[in-house]
Structure 1
Amino acid sequence: MAAMHERTKSYLRGRFWIWSTIGLSFLSLTLLIALVAVGEKWRELEENQQQLIHRSRRSSAETEVGKRTKRTTHWNVPHLRSYWNYRNYWNILPKYELSTPSIFDSLTNEEMLKIQRFMQQQPELNLKPVSEASMSDNYIFLMEAVLPPKSEVLDHLDRGQPMPARRARVTCFMGAKNPPVVEEFLVSPLPRVARYERVGSTISFHARPIDGFESNGMDEYIFKPITEKMFPILKKYYGYWYHNCTNRCIYFDTSARGLRAGDRQVHASAYRYGIDGYYIWPLPLQIVVNTNGNNPAAYSVTRLYFEHQSYSNVDEILDAYNSGQLKVTKLPPPPTGPTYGSPEKRRLHYGGDYRRRKRIPKQFEPDGKRYTVDGRRVKYLDWEFNVRFRALTGIQIMDVRFRGERIAYEIGIGEIAVYYSGREPTGILANFLDSGFVLGRLHFPLLKGYDCPNNAMYFDNTFYNPSGGRPHTHRSAVCLFEHNTGIPVRRHYLRDYTGPDISSFNYQFSLPGTVLILRGIITLFNYDYVLDYVFHPNGVIETKVSSTGYVFSITNPKGESSPYGYNINTENGILAPLHHHMFNFKVDLDIGGIRNRFETWDLKLESLPNPLAPGDRWIQKRLERNLRRNEQDALIKYNFDEPKYYVMYNAGANNSLGYPRGYRIYSNGFSKKMLPDGWSFENGISWARQQVAVLKQKDSEDTTASLFNQADPYNPTRNFADFHGDNESIVDQDLVAWVTVGIHHIPVAEDIPVTTTPGKELSIFLTPLNYYDEDPSMTSCDATVVRP
């Protein structure tokens, strides 16, 4: 029995090891298959990622040549999410969810194509596709979404009413009419377009922005004939020419700037092209062209400026040259390699090698992103807002809320202007109203990891491209990221003065400065404007604009100084003229609703008897609250001798201390417009006559920008002075603050090759003022308190 029992145990042990071996083999095989599958999926995802990155880069490098743009296929998604995702170790782009539609959405590709087809099918409009049109035809120049009346939007957002019908404004150049005009139409509803109506009065044809047809006309009938006659001079003295130029080409920068109201003139400045930073390689050749009408063959030369002298036509130049009266200065050829305008790194003069330097610090998100994005609705800690792209003015933020309460209905750029100085047309006429160049389409792709941190998310910018007559998308044109500012929001060290140790304390606390930043960069020819919307943890909204890019340049006789600026290249006689940047912002605050008031808290000096020294006087400041009752009373010109707070508040809503809840408008960037009010070009920037203007909200006064003021600032199509001409009451009304900041810039050597942002950052702060019962950041989990 014992022997049988031992054999049975031995048999069972053997079977056990056999089945264990089989089980382990099966499990190993299963794990191996799973690993192969995961590896294959990993490889597939990596390939997809690389394809997406390649497409994004290829799209960023895509250029337009005035005809229909060759398009690259991309994912049709509402926004591009993070290139770096904390949940994804291998940095793979995540899947996309359908976004929630919003009343603030911009036009999509599909909507623009539907609008285009609908409008071109209306026989009475006689609109042609851009590819088949000419200057004397009717065609579409611009499309942009138009918000419904604010009251309807608030009914939808706050009272659960259905979303109002979305609409679009379509701007058409009607060259086939006699006389030719510009007309604008309101198209609705979207996305199923069914009707249109004209809006506003017709706009004079002379006030339109320059487009491809006008540029091509000047090229054929003005630039080529003139430069062909001047070819021997241009080649001999400058080494650059216009026709058949290969890599030695002259480029004409053109801007519509009439010489008087109702006039259509285009000023063209010559540059050496194909050189790094060609903006700072001008030539002493300017042409003022009369482009009135719709027939390019009828274009004519108003004046020619060559070698700092004025001529009526090119034959006068040739006669003066051949007779020896005109002395042309021979300019040295630019270097064949990098120039003083090149952006590449320079070698260090004090020794060392920049290539051995350590890399810059980078931020990471240890627990993942603290914000979410649904379409273009952003939620970040206590903040919520919508991102909106407007074709005319660029990015805006809409329906901005803190802790569920709306603080602002709309914040965004109204207009950008820059006015130069000089003694020749290039400086004298260099006055720009930048919305005339359609700011929204100038949000180009951003350089990831440089323009924005590695952990940023990106939004695409889709707009109607008039040169191709089709929608176009700039990929990754606006970024969103959380940022550590490096300075505490609040902190204190409460020293223990009773202790024996000077370092003893009762407690200390600190809250790091972390903010969410929405960033877009507008590139206007030579200048780049970095526009940031910054959301602070204590309920503060900051709008910041920083200037960089290449300075504008003009020619100056070699060896001569100038009262208009400093020479930046003495060998070639190149000067960077002084100028004034001005930025107008729309700030539509809704404090506890739309019934708001505006007042200034004026600081005054008073002289009182000194109670501690009888017979002496004591001088100190006191506060006077000054309620502004009408629009004219709320046009504020900043005055250092009269310091004040600018306060928007709701008289019917108090905090627990009994004070009306409000917000303060503050800026570190107020600057004086020096041009006299009502003078010539100044009429186009009447919004800059005051730094703060608080007016009653009107849907018809939605922006200070205009497509048409650049060409005719003397009698502007949109005149801000008309906004407050009726002088309405602003007590307990829906109010909008128009805030203007600026900077006077005198370029110097350190602005070469590119001017830098430090010292050129202008901010507008919207800060709570008795809105809360205490600092709202006291609820932040980011803070720390240390007690001994």
Structure 2
Amino acid sequence: MHAISLSVTAKHTQAVSLGFLALVTGRPDPVLFRRSMGLADDVKVCHLTDDAPTTKAPKLNVWSQISPEEVKSVWDFVHNPSVGLNLTAPENATVTDNYVYFIDTLPVNKTAALPYLDGNNEAPPKFARVVIFEGGREDPVSQEYMVKLPIHEGSQVEKLDYLFNGGSGGTVPFNARYFDGKRSAASEPLLASLMTSIADITIDIFGGAYYGSSDERTNLTSATATPNSFDGTTAYRTVMFRYPGLASYMVPLDFYIILNVAGTDSSLYALKGFVTKSRFFPTVESLRAAYEAGELAQEFPQTRDNTWAYVNHKPEMGVRDLDDRLAPQSLEIGGKRYKFDPAERYVEYMGWSFYMAFTRTLGLMFYDIKYKGERVLYELSMQEAAAQYGGHQPKAAGTVYHDTYYSFGTYSATLVEGYDCPFGSTLLNISFPEGSGTEVHPDALCLFEADPGYPLARHRTGASNDWGFSQLGTVKASSLHVRTVATVGNYDYMFTYAFHVDGSLEVEVRASGYLQSSPYYKDQEKWGPRIYEATQGSLHDHVLTFKADFDIVDTKNSLQVTELIVANQTQPWFEELGIFEQMELNVTNKPTEEMLYWGGNGQTMYSVINPDAKNAWGVPRGYRIVPGRSNIHLSVEHSPFSQKSSTFSKSHLAVTRHHDSEQYANSWQNVNLAKRPQHDFAKFFDGESVDGEDIVVWFNLGMHHFTRSEDVPVTLFSEAVSSILLAPQNFNDRAQEGDLLNRRWIVANSTTGQLSYEDYGVALPTCKVQLEEPVDGLSQWTTV
């Protein structure tokens, strides 16, 4: 690694006479124009690696993660025999024991937070969320609890029921609870026994066998998908097999086994059947009969070598000309322009301010987002990352993922500076409770300001000289980005929240990683094309649900719908035209809670407004919700695998009235309760008014993944991307650019050929990168 320091060499010219150059060349020199506008007078060190200036948050971060000391105190408290939970240490537990699955932070209720944020109330108390798998009960369940902090002599464990509206509170039946290592271990003997009994078949067909996860003879890997149940009354385990390796997702085998695994008594577990060659075999005997008849040979044998799917350089593809040079980089040359309070995770930037929080279930969350001192959003958070597949085999046809089920936030990990985030970014650790302690992932969150590559605004007027203008104004655009990447199984999800200087806020998600691919059959390409020798891309949807709890100025907001309609009109000054079509606006407020869709041809605009807060022109202040790239919803409306458990994914957006009991769009264990969800998003829509009320907008990003050969080795961030923009809509009295100093106002004198400009004190530096030692292809000093 080469250390880099920066210095600046510069000039400064307030007025540049271009008359002589015009006489020589016939036109003013554009190079001089480009390079002379606002260069600094001296040589100084650029602030590339400086820390962000500090600031002090106006209030405590009441949404922050509970501390390691608090995690340990909760762990010790619930394990105290006097509390009566009869807990076994997780490392010693089986499915028939009671044990803690996880501890997390319970977000504070909004009704408790606002009196503290906006008044003189004391900070609301913090609560820990405790999930306990109670396999030792006569009726085994998963149960959620809440514990008020700090722990004291009179502390109690209370059931956490109010967040769930499915009728059973925080209780999930055993058959629908998370399929953790204990449940896998309970069903492993049956799986190993059955697969051992047909080892000769799998060795002959696939060159491998599965004797059990810990058996050294095993040379196939197994994988189990969700859902494992529909309503908690039964449970099944569908297992697929792959060749092992770093890219095992890309080498699937056409062999599946389905087990009935209901209840905690593993002696009652049984085989449902095998699937291969698109055929179902309910017994070992029926499978063996087909094998002995020569009916199971694979038409497209899978390769054992999966190095072709590694994300490394492939020499056989060659090298592109000049690719040995370092690619362009985004650098904060002028120094960091955002302030940060590390203790409270509070940020200030160009009029914006906000708090950041993190939970193991949802990951990164934002609270109390203000622009120029006025609240725009109380909360902005990802609620669920769902995926649903299609195909003609049990893994693809029956797979629905809810990634909160896997504790989404725990998969946010270290970012690579210069690649995942620009050089010089502020890199932050994230932490979350794990067992009795707290796990820390270093450099898992980054903040950086970036140039979007276009000006925020520009305009030229007049064309009376060689320059083609009399006056030209251009304003530099920039935005503060907050980014994290969560790798959940086979996919890396990159979340970027961009706070733009014009007062708009952009949410973007990208996906990269290995496809959950399928064995290739040439008659099944309606579910995806062939992407390797024996591998097919599996068609699927990604839908990521976000919560935007708007508080435009205050909590009395409405969802305004502005439709561009075509109407027939007559106008007396166009008498000869008679009746003619013209577009006009139809503006209404949504009266009640509703699931909504983007209008055709982009002719519908949704804005959250405050009907009682007007700008200088008497127009209600608000923020528009602008669809960006790939704003989709789930394709399948009535699948039995996601019937009621994924309602939040089935519209483009929705508006509801805020309730503390409707904190989440989903329950993290809902994926196994398609028919009887623990938390039912559909029940949010019960006819309540959303006009002039405290409202929440839920919106979906995602992509219909039309798989392709360019998904090999991994899906590319450039194509698998979705975004949305929350933009001021009459929130201000004018565009938010007039108070920005990073601009140029240039006036051309048509008589003298002289340019004069105003740089407002912001010089344009020429930076040089000094390397501590020469690098191939770079001199010691390189101008940037």
Q: TM-score, normalised by structure 2?
A: 0.83
CA-CA distance at 1:354 after TM superposition: 6.5
Question: Unpaired runs of 5+ in structure 1?
Answer: 1-44, 47-85
Verify: 1:493 aligned to 2:464, yes or no. Answer: no
d(CA) in 2 for partners of 1:655, 1:116: 52
User: Which residue number in structure 2 is paired with residue 648 of structure 1?
Assistant: 608
Q: Which residue of structure 2 lines up, in the alignment, with residue 657 of structure 1?
A: 617
Q: CA deviation at 1:273?
A: 1.0
Q: Using the alignment, how far apart are the partners of 2:550 and 2:384 within structure 1?
A: 19
- 1:279-327 CA-partner distances (Å, limit 9, x unpaired): 1110111122222212344332222213432122334323432454544
- Residue pair 2:541, 2:635 contacting (<8 A) in 1 also: no
* Paired residue secondary structure (2:529): strand
Contact 1:249 1:272 in 2 (8 A): yes
1:755 Cα deviation after fit: 0.9
| Alignment partner of 1:266 is 2:227 | no
| Greater alpha carbon shift after TM alignment, 227-236 vs 707-716 | 227-236
Q: Does 1:215 align with 2:184?
A: yes
Q: 2:391 aligns with which of 391, 414, 422?
A: 422
Instruction: Give the direction of change, closer, same or farther, for the CA distance of 1:676–1:363 in structure 2 (3 Å limit).
Output: closer
Aligned-partner Cα distance in 2 for 1:504–1:730 = 52
Q: Is the 8 A contact 2:635 2:650 kept in 1?
A: no
1:561 and 1:567 in contact (8 A); partners too: no
| Whole-angstrom distance in 2 between the partners of 1:291 and 1:348 | 47
Q: Is the 8 A contact 2:88 2:99 kept in 1?
A: yes
1:625 is aligned, of 558, 567, 587, to 587
Change (3 A) 1:195 1:521: same
Alignment of 1:283-302 (within 5 A): 283-302=253-272
Of 476, 483, 493, the residue aligned with 2:443 is 476
| Amino acid across the alignment from 1:103 | V
CA contact (8 A) 2:249 2:490 kept: yes
Higher helix share: 1
Instruction: Work out the CA distance in 1 between the residues paired with 2:735 and 2:642.
Output: 46
Q: Classify 1:240/1:447 alpha carbon distance in 2 versus 1 (closer, same or farther; 3 Å).
A: farther
> Alpha carbons of 1:662 and 1:192: their partners in 2 closer, same or farther (altered >3 Å)?
farther
Aligned residue in 2 for 1:74: none
Secondary structure of 2:671 counterpart = coil
**Corresponding position of 1:708:** 669
1:98: how far off?
11
Aligned AA for 1:295? D
Query: Offset of 1:473 from its aligned partner?
Result: 2.1
CA drift at 1:504: 3.3
Query: Residues 313, 108 of structure 1: CA spacing in aligned structure 2 closer, same or farther, 3 A cutoff?
Result: farther
Asked if residue 136 in structure 1 is aligned to residue 96 in structure 2, the reply is yes
In the alignment, residue 342 of structure 1 is paired with which amino acid?
Y
SS in 2 for 1:292: coil
The C-alpha deviation readout for 1:724-751, integer Å capped at 9, x for no partner, is 1x21111221110011233211111111
CA contact (8 A) 1:418 1:432 kept: yes
**Residue 770 of structure 1: which of 706, 730, 733 is its match?**
730
| CA pair 741-149 structure 1, distance change in 2 beyond 3 A | same
Does the aligned pair in 1 maintain the 2:644–2:676 contact within 8 Å? Answer: yes
Comparing both chains, which one has the higher relative contact order based on Cα–Cα distances under 8 Å and sequence gaps of 6 or more? 2
CA distance in 1: counterparts of 2:512 and 2:418, whole angstroms: 18
Matched, 1:120 2:79: yes
| CA separation of 1:113 and 1:323: change in aligned 2, threshold 3 A | same
Pairwise CA distance, 1:93: 9.1
C-alpha separation in 1, matches of 2:492 and 2:217? 26
Q: How does 1:426-575 map to 2 (within 5 A)?
A: 426-465=395-434, 470-496=437-463, 499=464, 501=465, 503-557=467-521, 559-569=522-532, 571-572=533-534, 574-575=535-536
Alpha-carbon distance in 2 for matches of 1:733, 1:122 = 46
Give me the whole-angstrom Cα distance separating, in 1, the residues matched to 2:180 and 2:631. 34
For the pair 1:278 / 2:248, whether they are aligned, the reply is yes
- Conserved 8 A contact 1:285-1:304: yes
Kindly provide the amino acid, as one letter, of the partner of residue 617 in structure 1: I
| Equivalent residue in structure 2 for 1:728, among 688, 700, 703 | 688
User: Which of 651, 656, 671 in structure 2 is aligned with 1:695?
Assistant: 656
The 1:448/1:245 distance shift into structure 2, 3 A limit, reads: farther
Tell me, yes or no, if the aligned pair for 1:239 and 1:248 is still in contact at 8 Å: no
Q: Does 1:580 align with 2:541?
A: yes
Q: Are the equivalent residues in 1 in contact too, given 2:65–2:357 (CA < 8 A)?
A: yes
Contact kept? 2:176, 2:672, Cα under 8 Å: yes
Which amino acid in the other structure matches residue 457 of structure 2?
R
1:591 to partner: Cα distance: 0.6
Aligned partner of 1:313 among 279, 283, 291: 283
Determine the C-alpha separation between the residues in 1 that align with 2:740 and 2:87: 57
Contact 1:552 1:577 in 2 (8 A): yes
Of the three residues 190, 196, 214, the one matched with 2:157 is 196
Residues 565 and 146 (structure 1), Cα distance of their counterparts in 2 relative to 1, 3 Å cut: same
Could you tell me which residue of structure 1 aligns to residue 220 of structure 2?
A: 250
Q: Does the 8 Å CA contact 2:377/2:552 hold for their aligned counterparts?
A: yes
Query: What fraction of aligned residue pairs are identical, expressed as a percent?
Result: 25
Q: Which residue matches 1:6?
A: none
Rounded to whole Å, the distance in 1 between the matches of 2:391 and 2:701 is 23
Structure 2 match to 1:15 = none
Out of 356, 363, 368, the residue aligned to residue 394 of structure 1 is 363
Q: Report the aligned-residue RMSD.
A: 2.8
Secondary structure, aligned partner of 2:702: strand
Look at both structures and tell me which one has the larger radius of gyration over its CA atoms: 1
Task: Label 1:548 to 1:661 Cα distance change in 2 as closer, same or farther (>3 A).
Answer: same
- The runs of 5 or more residues in structure 2 that have no matched partner are 5-43, 162-168, 749-784
CA distance in 1, matches of 2:146, 2:267: 33
How far off its partner does 1:330 sit? Answer: 7.8
Partner amino acid for 1:174?
Answer: E
Correspondence 1:579-618 to 2 at 5 A: 579-609=540-570, 611-612=573-574, 614-618=576-580
Query: 1:9-158 residue pairs with structure 2 within 5 A?
Result: 101-123=60-82, 124-158=84-118
Q: Which amino acid aligns with 1:224?
A: A
Instruction: Answer whether contact 2:53 2:339 (CA < 8 A) is retained.
Output: no
Q: Does 1:639 align with 2:599?
A: yes
Q: How far apart are 1:403 and its partner, in Å?
A: 1.1
Deviates more, 1:677-686 or 1:435-444: 677-686
Q: Is the Cα contact below 8 Å between 1:217 and 1:297 reproduced in 2?
A: no
Distance 1:424 1:387, change over 3 A: same
Alpha-carbon distance between aligned partners in 2 of 1:777 and 1:88, rounded to the nearest angstrom: 25
8 A Cα contact 2:276 2:296, kept in partner: no
Cα distance 1:315–1:758, how it changes in 2: closer, same or farther (>3 A)? Answer: same
- Which amino acid is the alignment partner of residue 576 of structure 1? G
Q: Deviations over 1:131-180 (max 9, x none)?
A: 22221111111222123321221111111221111112111111101110
Distance 2:586 2:726 in 1: 21
**Structure 1 range deviating more: 693-702 or 357-366:** 357-366
Q: How does 1:732-743 map to 2 (within 5 A)?
A: 732-743=692-703
CA contact (8 A) 1:106 1:389 kept: yes
Which amino acid in structure 2 is aligned with residue 379 of structure 1? E
Q: Partners in 1 of 2:356 and 2:660 — Cα distance?
A: 20
Question: Partners of 2:396 and 2:438 in 1: how far apart?
Answer: 35
User: Would you say the 8 A contact 1:256–1:265 is kept in 2?
Assistant: no
Q: Deviations over 1:199-245 (max 9, x none)?
A: 223221222111111122233x1332223223233333323333477
Give the aligned residue type for 2:243: R
Quick check: 2:48–2:332 contact (8 Å CA) kept in 1? Answer: no
CA distance in structure 1 between the aligned counterparts of 2:106 and 2:363, rounded to whole angstroms: 14
Give the structure 2 partner of residue 230 of structure 1. 198
The Cα offsets for residues 688-726 of structure 1, whole Å up to 9 and x where unpaired, read as 3322211110011011121221112122111111011x2
Aligned to 2:203, what secondary structure does the other structure show? Answer: helix
SS of corresponding position for 1:682: coil
Q: Which amino acid aligns with 1:699?
A: D
2:209 aligned residue? 241
**Which one of the candidate residues 340, 356, 360 is aligned to 2:327?**
360
Equivalent-residue separation in structure 1 for 2:602 and 2:327 (angstroms): 44
